[in-house]
Amino acid sequence: MSQWTHVAGLIRLDSMESVVKLPIKEKAGKMQEAIKKALGNTCDFESSLEETQACNVPQGSEGSLQYRVYRNSDEDEHALSWGYIAIYGDLRDFGKEDESEIVDWFQKSLERLNKPEGNKEPEEMSNYEKAEYILSVFMIREAILAVRVEFSHRTLLIWNDEQKKVDSIRRRNKEA
């Protein structure tokens, strides 16, 4: 009998993109790249061997967690909320002993969205590098991920914006 772990979550993305003077499509493309770099590569049961080997998102025997990025508007508006990331998945043969992998991935993804890896200090950057950096940095006030390990427990992961870390709440499932 297989054990499944079910996951659903949301990350709200706030951005300072309006201060960057680049064409809207170029800005959106750079922001999408930054998000993929922060969250990683996904795969599913139909993925090629190459795609599966490149997958660096928590995965079960039939594929990984998935995520979709949604922009609030395609216009160059001055709203702070840029959009959100929906996270979901059903991981087969992924149990309670594997749950820490999801917690670690969520924590590191949020950290990379807040402060991307591999950048110089802003005072050492050219104007173009500063623009690219601003487009790859997101403010995260709210992020939540619900993880339900069948026959075991539920865990709610909540981003603590002040401490820049993920807090968790665990609750036993009634069927366990």
Query: pLDDT in tens for each of the 176 residues of the chain?
Result: 789 999 999 999 998 887 788 887 888 888 899 999 999 999 999 999 999 999 999 999 999 999 999 988 766 566 678 889 999 999 999 988 999 999 999 999 999 999 887 777 778 888 888 888 888 889 998 999 999 999 888 999 999 999 989 998 877 766 54
What's the distance, Cα to Cα, between the start and end of the chain in Å? 15
Report the C-alpha dihedral over residues 96, 97, 102, 108, rounded to 10 degrees.
140
Q: Is the whole-model pTM more than 0.85?
A: yes
Query: DSSP per residue over 108-167, as a string?
Result: HHHHHHHS-TT---GGGS-HHHHHHHHHH--B-S-EEEEEEETTTEEEEEEEETTTTEEE
